[in-house]
Amino acid sequence: MRVRANGNRTETRSRLQRRRPDLWKPYLSISLITSLLLSFNAVSCGEKEEKKISPLGITEEEGEETAYDLDQIQEAGELIAVTLSGPDTYYEYKGKGFGLQFELAEHFAVSIGAKLRMEAVRDTAELFQRLKKGEADLIALEIPENHMTDMELQFSGVRSCLSDSTAAAKTGWVVRKDAPFLAEALDGWYKPETRSFLQKREQLRLSPGGSVKRRVRAPFQNRAKGIISPYDTHFIRHSQAIGWDWRLMAAQCYQESGFDPEAVSWAGARGLMQIMPETAVHLGLPADQMHQPEKNISAAARYLRELERKFSDIPGRAERINFILAAYNGGTGHVRDAMALARKHGKNPHLWNDVAPFILRLSQPQYYNDPVVRYGYLRGEETYGYVTSIRERWQRYRAAVHGGTTGAAPAPSRKNSRGGFKSKVLSAEELEAKSKQNTP
């Protein structure tokens, strides 16, 4: 089963469990006793017709469920929506959900006082299946009208219509007909202006100038004296605790925030090391301390240590660093997806040069919809560029400033004709060709 947002889901709860979680066990006990008594009376009276009892002791009549509608959603405090993974629908970045359909569904969930759980599935057939089984409350994807022929379902909430009036041009979200109050709430909530506002906000986030709000400082505070930044003492102290080269942490910090402790990204990441609010909670970093340099760097060091443990199967620190950096930017799940794709295509999933092409390809539908992929779409070019840029800057810092604890050195960057460093983001095909050249 595919996942997610806002929590990992390992099993599907029935609508009855969701509706009355606090009464579930007592309900079973009472039902079992009642059913056994009824069955005993029926047999003793010589009745030919017997009630069928399930292994839980619930008769057919008792097992019938009432519709799971708006009241039950609000009581459970959770709205479950299903959609397809993609840049315009739903994807995860640093553990947080994004995409227009996600934004719309979250906006509606807030309006009814519930939290959103968004789950990406393989195809439209699974969307309808999950909704009809009661495993989801709505399909948060604009389904064409001519694709929806099931009489138990109906359009509700988000709607759109292209220039013509054909069935193929009309699209909308879908709910069950036995959830009329949910449908009514969706129709009352949705307005075209809501979609326009959220769409513009999403576009602004993804625009070249809207990625991180920061005041970028020089990559060296004083090259002659070997001072990289005002925060070198923090990098030295906290990198030692995890066995990292402090210059590597400094290179990562410059990539994240440009050494601006007040930096805020489009995704909501904050501070020098751009820690997400949810990650901060996990690391025990209070919200009011996220912009404090040492607190932010200390939390980032703890997170890097966690990631190193998660990638302990990668042999060698030098190789492992690539995977850790990629996971810090794109998420552990996406990196594991790229590794799974590399394995499927006959590559070594523990070598970055073999995995990097698939990091890039996770932005293409034929790859992020592959059966071995669990976490869907990834802004792969950003994650690949992130790793490449940090390693190149680390090489420069190592050449200019002595001292560090990480024994592995990054591959040297290529110098251009002016003596500077030339950085080029290779395509997936170029990376694959380069990998073949390096293979004996």
Q: Name residue, tokens 């029935």.
A: 14
CB atoms within 10 A of CB 133: 11
Cβ proximity of 75 and 17 under 8 Å: no
Phi first, then psi, for residue 96 (nearest 5°) are: -120, 145
Q: What amino acid positions are annotated as catalytic residues?
A: 256
CB atoms within 10 A of CB 357: 25
Looking at beta carbons, which pairs linking 152-159 to residues 24 or more positions away fall under 8 Å? 152/176, 152/177, 152/178, 153/128, 153/177, 154/183, 156/182, 156/183, 156/186, 156/187, 157/108, 157/183, 157/186, 157/187, 157/189, 157/190, 158/104, 158/186, 158/190, 158/195, 159/190
What torsion do the CA atoms of 356, 409, 399, 329 make, to the nearest 10 degrees? 40
Alpha-carbon distance values, 29 to 23, 42, 51, 389 (Å): 10, 20, 18, 61
